[in-house]
Chain A
Amino acid sequence: MKAVRVVIGLAGVAAGAWGAWLLLPQVTVELLLWLGGGVVLHDFLIAPLVGATGLVVKRPSIGIGLTVSGVVTLLAVPLLWREHSGPVNPGLHDRDHPWGVAVALGVTWAAVVLYEVAAHLQNRRRADEEHHVPD
Chain B
Amino acid sequence: MRFRAPAHHTGVTSRVGLWLGIAFGLCFVTGLLSHGVQHDWPWPTRPVDLYRVTQGVHVISGVAAIPLLLAKLWSVYPKLFERPLVRSVPHALERGSIFVLVAASFFELATGLFNAAQNYPWSFYFPTAHYAVAWIVAGAMLVHIAVKIPLIRRSLEPASTEKTVLSRRAFLRTTALTTGVAVVATAGVTVPWLRKVSVLAWRSDGDLPVNRTAKAAGIEVPADWRLRTNSKTYSLDELRALPQTTVELPIACVEGWSQNATWTGVRVSELVGRGDVRVESLEEDGLYRASTLPEAFAQDPLTVLALRLNGEELSPDHGYPCRLIAPNRPGVLQTKWVTSLEVTA
Whether both chains belong to one complex is answered with yes
Q: Which residues does chain B contribute within 8 Å of A118, judged by CB atoms?
A: none
Which residue from B129, B199, B202 sits with its C-beta under 8 Å from A92? B202
In the complex with contacts A47-B73, A90-B210, A91-B209, A71-B178 CB distance below 8 A: yes
A39 and B209 within 8 A (CB): no
Q: Does A114 contact B (CB under 8 A)?
A: no
B210 and A89 within 8 A (CB): yes
Q: Does B149 contact A (CB under 8 A)?
A: yes
Q: Which residues does chain A contribute within 8 Å of B114, judged by CB atoms?
A: 78
Q: Which residues does chain B contribute within 8 Å of A122, judged by CB atoms?
A: none
User: How many residue pairs at the A-B interface have CB separations less than 8 Å?
Assistant: 223
CB<8 Å pairs between A and B, sample of 24:
A8-B145, A9-B142, A16-B138, A16-B139, A19-B134, A19-B139, A23-B133, A31-B122, A34-B122, A35-B133, A43-B80, A46-B70, A72-B181, A75-B200, A77-B113, A78-B116, A84-B121, A84-B122, A90-B206, A90-B210, A90-B317, A91-B209, A94-B203, A95-B201
A22 and B174 within 8 A (CB): no
**Which stretch of B42-50, B102-110, B241-249, B319-327 is in the interface?**
B102-110
Binary per-residue interface labels of chain B (221-235) against chain A in the complex, 1 for a CB within 8 Å, 0 otherwise = 000000000000000
User: Shortest Cβ distance from B211 into chain A, in angstroms?
Assistant: 6
In the complex with contacts A12-B146, A64-B177, A103-B199 CB distance below 8 A: yes
Question: Interface size of B by Cβ–Cβ distance < 8 Å?
Answer: 78
Nearest 10 CB-CB pairings of A with B: A38-B106, A16-B139, A19-B135, A12-B142, A91-B209, A100-B199, A15-B139, A9-B146, A22-B132, A19-B136
In the complex with contacts A6-B146, A9-B146, A79-B139 CB distance below 8 A: no
B103 and A39 within 8 A (CB): yes
Interface majority SS (helix, strand, loop, mixed), chain B: helix
A83 and B202 within 8 A (CB): no
CB-contacts of A35-54 with B (<8 A): 35-39, 41-43, 46-47, 50-51, 54
Q: Which residues does chain B contribute within 8 Å of A130, judged by CB atoms?
A: none
Name B145's closest neighbour in chain A (CB-CB): A8
Q: Does B213 contact A (CB under 8 A)?
A: yes
Q: Which residues does chain A contribute within 8 Å of B212, judged by CB atoms?
A: 89
Q: Does A120 contact B (CB under 8 A)?
A: no
User: Shortest Cβ distance from B72 into chain A, in angstroms?
Assistant: 11
User: Shortest Cβ distance from A13 into chain B, in angstroms?
Assistant: 6
Which residue from A6, A13, A95, A104 sits with its C-beta under 8 Å from B204? A95
Interface majority SS (helix, strand, loop, mixed), chain A: helix
B74 and A100 within 8 A (CB): no
Binding site for B on A (CB under 8 A): 1, 4-6, 8-9, 11-20, 22-23, 26, 28, 30-31, 34-39, 41-43, 46-47, 50-51, 54, 60, 63-64, 67-68, 71-72, 74-79, 81-87, 89-95, 97, 99-101, 103-104, 108
Complex CA distance for A64 and B120, rounded to whole angstroms: 31
A72 and B185 within 8 A (CB): yes
Q: Which residues does chain A contribute within 8 Å of B202, judged by CB atoms?
A: 78-79, 92-93, 95
A15 and B178 within 8 A (CB): no
In the complex with contacts A6-B146, A16-B140, A19-B136, A76-B213 CB distance below 8 A: no
Complex CA distance for A34 and B105, rounded to whole angstroms: 11
Name B147's closest neighbour in chain A (CB-CB): A9
